[in-house]
Structure formats: structure tokens, C-alpha cells
Homo-oligomer: A and B are copies of this chain.
Amino acid sequence: MAERRGRNVRDVRRSNRSLLLRHLYFHPSSSRLDLSRATGLSAASVSSVVAELIEAQVVIESGALESDGGRPRILLDVAAPRFQVIGVDVGETRIRVERFDLGLTELARAEIPMPQGREPGRCAPGDVVAGVAEGLAVVGLPDPDSGVRVLGIGIGVPGIVAGRPESVVHCQTIGWDAVPLEALLREVTDLPLFIDNGANTLGQAEMWFGAGRGVSDTLFLLIGSGIGASVMLDGVAYRGSSTSAGEWGHITAAIGGRLCRCGARGCLEAYIGAESIIARYAEAAPAADAASAASEEDALLRILAAARREESEQGRAARAVLAETALHLGVSIGNLINLFNPERIIIGGWAGLLLAGDLLPGVREVARAHALRHPFSKAAIEVGRLGPDAVALGAATLPVARFLHTAGVGPRSH
């Protein structure tokens, strides 16, 4: 128990350097005095650490503020253009690769469709690696002579990421069992790799730039074709003892209930995921036109539209299916509130964003009825702000987070 190592006097500097850099990253254009006040460090210490960061070209003086009666403040900023990161979103149907600068301004992007194998929803690890390699080639790298350093590649995948130090990916729904993705990808790149669950990376993006800003205990619910969740405790993703925490999709919502694509019965995903909503509607209203939809997104939009048509048979069927979805989502959110006592619950994913418009009030009410009063009153249930395409953005935050943590003195080739 409590086997943390003893602290060194140099750890103090490391910790303070990282603290100042993080503050500067999330509060751009601060002066040294701002930093001093925000962190509690003395002005002398801030001066000293900032000088070091400027010396290392991690921070730059970016201007000065108009004076109001004294010496003007010199504004500091992270030297965002000098560092770049790459974010990858491995989806079941396509791979998206984006290149960003340190400030996560997008510089280039590529989208590679996945070859659909014999069985739908199954993709070979080799195809994913090839797709990532192709995407990396398209987005390119900065000119090696420019002095720009690429910090690493963050990758969001639709499965459980386990194993240390080499990441291994499990995903029952697409048939991956202990795929050594990190080792496979190392064949196509030398850059540091940061692999995480896609729900986690999307949640991370919302924490940094979306509905989770400044909140520490947050649950991010990703509702797409299937569903997943990311548990953010104390501002960072909680991973559990073997990095698979937050597997929300396959908790049992109804014993002996509907068959799920994972093979079990009564999984929550079989009531909330878009695939299941579409299937349930097709069962309830066989004559409906949803089957002819071009995509899942299109099909879900048609169901939402049908639900608004008062008198038709299909309207009744659509309303029943959506009501069942809202009921299960609300109950599950109530349960999560009791278990985790979060400050905020964020609903995201492409289906979640589509559904939230019509369903959110009902979901809130069901959650209220099924949660204890006290924790419910502290939990805000909100909709994600970033859209479903932020998985790559969130993945790119992973190398950035490492950089901020090490304050640029990590393993560098310098």
C-alpha cells in the first residue's frame, strides 16, 4: 500500500514546470504575474521557470498588454507552431487521420474507407494498419529542416485497449481478440504511439474543448451505432485495473432481454444503440421505408421524423421505439449517477446528438425518478458540443497531454 517513491528536490521543479506549462496551455496569453497568482508560486519562481521554458523554446513572449499606469505585462504563450501531433480515429467503416499543431489547430486531414470484409462489421487488423499508414502518408509530416517536432500519434479505436507497455486491443463486436496494434503500427511509423478507446478520446476532447471544460468528475456517454462511455474522474480518464473501465454498452439492462450483437441478452446497447433502434423499428413497423435508407444516420433521421407524424401507424411505432430507448437511457443514467456521483453527464456520438433534441427532457425525467435525490441534484445532464467527428481531435490530445506533463523534457531526440 502507498508504495509511491520518495520525492526529490528536483521533482519540485519538474512539477512546477509542468504546472505552469499546463496553465499557459489552457489560459493562453497570460503574463508572468497571472501565472504567479494562478499557481501560488512566487513571482521569482515563475520568472525562473519561464526563463527555462523560453530557453527551451517551448514558450514564447507573444506581445505586451496595454499599460494601465505601470510597466506593461508581457504576454506568454506556448510555442504551438513548433510542435505537432497526429490524431487517428479508427472507425468500423473508415479511418480518419488528422495533423494538428500543439494548439490543436487542424493542419491536414485524410479519410480512408475501410474495405468491408465478408462479414459486415468485421475488419482485419492488417486493413486497419494499412489504412492508418495510408492516412499518415496523405497528411504528411512537417519539413524536417523546419525545426518542428512531432510529438506523437494518438489513436482512438473501438475496443478495449489493454496491456503495458505494448497496447493490445480487444473488441468482441468486431472480432478482435488481443490484437497487438501498437506493435503492428510500429512497422509503419517511428513516432510515439498513444492508443486509447474511442469513447475515451472523444470524452477527452469534450473535457478539453467542449461540454466538460473545467469539470472534474464527468461521464461521457457515446451513442453511435453501438454505445460506450468514458469515465473522467478528477479531470482524467479512469481506466480501472486493466484499462477497460467504462464498458457501458454491455452492462445488462434487462435480464434475459433482447439479443445483443455481442451474443449476450439484454445488453444496454441492444436498447440504446442506433443499430438496435433501427432494428426494433423495422420489427415494429415492417412496412416502413427505413430499411431503404442509405445509411444508419439516414435511417435514424427517418425514425425521428416518423415519430412526429401524429396519426400514422409508423408514427406510433416510432414513438414506442424511441420511448423505450429514452426509458432505458434514463434509467441507466440514473444508475450511473448513483454509482459515480458525477458533476456532469455528457451525451455524445452521432446518434446521441440526433436523439438528444427530442429525447432529452424525457431522459432527464426518467433519470430523476430512478436516481437518489441528492446525487441527482448535483448532476447536470448535457449534450456534447463537439460533434461526433472529434474522436481524432481527442486522440491528438493524448500526446499533447504527455507533452504538458513532462513539460517538453521527456524522451527527446535532442
Contacts and interface: CB of A to CB of B under 8 A. Distances in A.
30 contacts: A1-B214, A1-B235, A2-B23, A6-B19, A6-B20, A6-B41, A8-B12, A160-B375, A170-B374, A231-B339, A240-B342, A241-B379, A242-B374, A242-B375, A244-B338, A244-B372, A244-B375, A245-B340, A246-B341, A247-B341, A247-B375, A248-B339, A250-B371, A251-B335, A251-B339, A252-B335, A254-B255, A255-B331, A262-B372, A336-B339
B241 A5 contact: no
Number of copies: 2
Interface string A1-25: 1111111110110011001101100
A172 interface: yes
A14 B82 CA distance: 38
A162 B162 CA distance: 35
A7 B342 CA distance: 28
Nearest to A207: B1
A374 B19 contact: no
Name which of A19, A22, A239, A242 has the most chain B CB atoms within 10 A of its CB: A242
Interface of A: 1-9, 11-12, 15-16, 19-20, 22-23, 26, 38-41, 45, 160, 162, 170, 172, 207-208, 213-214, 216-217, 229, 231, 233, 235, 238-248, 250-252, 254-255, 262, 264, 327-328, 331, 334-336, 338-343, 369-375, 378-379
A1 B15 contact: no
Given A239-B341, A241-B216, A244-B341, A6 B375 contact: no
Contacts of A41: 6
A251 B335 CA distance: 5
A19 B40 contact: no
A370 B379 CA distance: 28
A247 B162 contact: no
A163 to B, nearest CB: 10
A372 B235 contact: no
Given A242-B374, A252-B370, 18 more contacts: A1-B208, A2-B23, A6-B39, A7-B12, A170-B374, A229-B339, A233-B233, A240-B340, A240-B375, A242-B378, A244-B338, A244-B341, A244-B378, A247-B341, A248-B338, A250-B338, A251-B339, A252-B335
